[in-house]
Amino acid sequence: MKPARCAICGLSAIDESSKNKGDWVSFLNTSKEESEFITHPKGLEYFCASHIDQAKKLCQLSSDEAIEKLKFIFHEEGKSKSINIHKKENLFSEFFINTKRKFLNN
């Protein structure tokens, strides 16, 4: 069996808060066959609390397809958050520089 580690961000279930926990999601390609060896079922993936809701919405896909889409979705979301942070930092820097100029000119 695989450890319960988010397929998107790698967060371990052990490291999640006690209130918000992730879960395992069975995708279209989850194998139902029993094996003579102890293995992890193909198509069964763990997602942390931050990614579980979106993962459940894609359970009609194979695990590989779903993970690829989720990584794209969350990567793009992260990029837009990063851009917003940089915009805020630039606005603060401009404000600071302008304030400093006004103070030094007086």
pLDDT tens digits for 77-102?
665 444 444 444 555 556 556 666 66
In a domain, 8, yes or no: no
In a domain, 79, yes or no: yes
In a domain, 6, yes or no: no
- Listed in sequence order, the residues at least 6 apart from 90 whose beta carbon sits closer than 8 Å to its beta carbon are none
In a domain, 73, yes or no: yes
The one-letter amino acid code at 28 reads L
Q: What is the pLDDT of residue 38?
A: 75
User: How many domains is the chain built from?
Assistant: 1
In a domain, 88, yes or no: yes
In a domain, 41, yes or no: yes
Q: What is the pLDDT of residue 100?
A: 62
Q: What is the pLDDT of residue 18?
A: 74
95: tokens are 């404000």
Task: Please give the share of the chain, as a percent, with pLDDT higher than 70.
Answer: 67
23: tokens are 């879960």
- Give 23-67 pLDDT, tens digit per residue: 999 999 887 766 667 778 889 999 999 999 999 999 999 999 999
Q: What is the pLDDT of residue 1?
A: 77
Domain that holds residue 100: 13-105
Contacts 24+ apart (CB under 8 A), 23-28: 23/47, 23/52, 25/52, 25/55, 25/56, 25/59, 25/66, 26/59, 27/58, 27/59, 27/61, 27/62, 27/63, 27/66, 28/59, 28/60, 28/61, 28/62, 28/63
What's the predicted TM-score (pTM) here? 0.67
- Give 8-28 pLDDT, tens digit per residue: 999 999 998 878 899 999 999
